[in-house]
Amino acid sequence: RQNMIGRAIAGAALAALCAGCVTQSARRVTESERAQIAIAAAERWIALVDAGSYDESWKSAAEYFRGAVPRAQWAQALRAGRAPLGKAIYRRLRSAVYQTSMPGAPDGEYVTLQFDTRFERKEAAVETIIAMRDSDGAWRVSGYFVR
């Protein structure tokens, strides 16, 4: 009888351990899936910027972004900083990092994406796009930088 109780305890411990393994595995998959959704959202958004649709890129950006950067200021910044580079000829995802906090921003879900990009007038650039999960659950862009 004690042997059966011992086996039951060992079995319960093993089940709990395995459940923890599954939970950790599911978490990784979930973050990966979230990153894929954020990548797709960022690619749709950067297509607007590539097309020169700066007002549309602002409209489709994250609520947080729209609250921090006025539309006219955004369009002016892109005309001054992005337009001189010319058309994007090549863009390849370098990295995608899922995070739950960003400096100077509210806690939430973020994916920081870096792309190796070649423009007409800039041979090698790194574009950084920060996607965030907005209040409605959709992934939208909340930051963009080119260096």
**Contact indicator for 116, 91 with CB cutoff of 8 Å:** yes
Question: Quick one: DSSP state of residue 121?
Answer: T
E-state strands within the chain? 88-99, 110-119, 122-133, 139-146
pLDDT in tens, the chain (147 residues): 444 333 333 333 333 333 333 333 445 547 889 999 999 999 999 999 999 999 999 999 999 999 999 999 999 999 999 999 999 999 999 999 999 999 989 999 999 999 999 999 999 999 999 999 999 999 999 999 999
Q: Tally Cβ neighbours within 10 Å of residue 53.
A: 15
Q: Note the pTM of the prediction, 2 decimals.
A: 0.79
What SS3 state is found at 116?
strand
Distance CA 118, CA 135 (A): 33
Kindly report the backbone phi and psi dihedral angles of residue 112, in degrees, each rounded to the nearest multiple of 5, phi listed first.
-95, 120
